[in-house]
Amino acid sequence: MQKAMQNHVRNLVVLGTGGTIAGSQPDPRLAAEYDSARHGIDTLVAALPALPAGFALRTEQVANIDSKDLDFCLWAKLYERIVDHLRRAEVAGVVVTHGTDTLEETAYFLHAALPGSLTSQKPVVLTGAMRALDALGSDGPANLYDAFTLAATAGAHGVMVACAGAVHAAVEVRKTHTYRLDAFSSGDAGPLGYLENGRLRALRPWPAAPATQPREALDRAIRANAWPRVEIVMGYAGGSAAVIDALLRNSGGDTPPLRGIVVAATGNGTLHHAMEAALRRACDAGVRVVLTSRCGPIVPHAGMAFSHADSLTAVQARVAMMLDCMAHDAR
């Protein structure tokens, strides 16, 4: 679908993937009881007022799922469609509607995977909702309009998230609440800015593209769906080697080989002694190990047992490790 095409009008592309923003609620009073991904992207767009001046809209339904069910095939398809649109001169930016459960993973994936030559010139804005479209107090329409406003802002570039009036960089965004409308945070860094009265109040510069990966190799691997197996384990009181040893045993045959383990460790990357011993066995078996923390950024120190992922969450660090393995394998 294409709306209001005119000469010299720039296009915003919105890609729908489902989520609560496209959800339906049988009883509008019960905000936590709804069916995700019931409305198409055209229905969401129809609920909005006029677009920012000088822009027309193209919509595309890439998927319509609950984001808890997101898989690598959808990431690959989303990557392909965004690259295709960003390469078009008439496209000013891309907006993606997405479920909030895995939004931070998709945002980080797009930040790390999309060519910096594109995202350093144009914006990719993800948005979602914490209330279904037909719920009392639905936040989806406002979030979607804010996403369009952000994508239409002069000079906008990079992968960002627009939610509850705040703008977050993809590398910093985290979902921090299960129910509130302002469910996302940028942690210590704080938001990039706020969307207020139809315009952006910027607090920090636009997000920078990441360091260059072997671009052609990574692109081939994503399009081929050659995703390595990387698992996440958590550190906790009374931890043991059982989970890690089980992962090492369950590798081969019909199960893809285990390439990496990301640990959501206690404190500043600390590990139960039994888990640390098991992780060393994993390293000896050729499995990569990276530490994150359950509670925030890791402060590096000389006594760390393994490499760490700085301020990335465990789910983001998993994406980073997968992409690194993919780029290496495809060379």
Question: Is 101 flagged in the annotation as binding?
Answer: yes
- Confirm if 17 and 65 have CB atoms less than 8 A apart: yes
> Of these residues, 59, 97, 100, 102, which one is catalytic?
100
Pairing of β 288-293 and β 258-265: parallel
255 has catalytic annotation = no
251 is annotated as contributing to ligand binding:
no
Q: Which of 20, 97, 119, 292 is catalytic?
A: 20
- Residue 100 annotated as catalytic: yes
Dihedral in degrees, nearest 10, Cα atoms 279, 285, 290, 294: -30
- Residue 127 annotated in ligand binding: no
- For the annotated catalytic residues, the residue numbers are 20, 100
- Binding residues for substrate, by number, are 67, 100-101
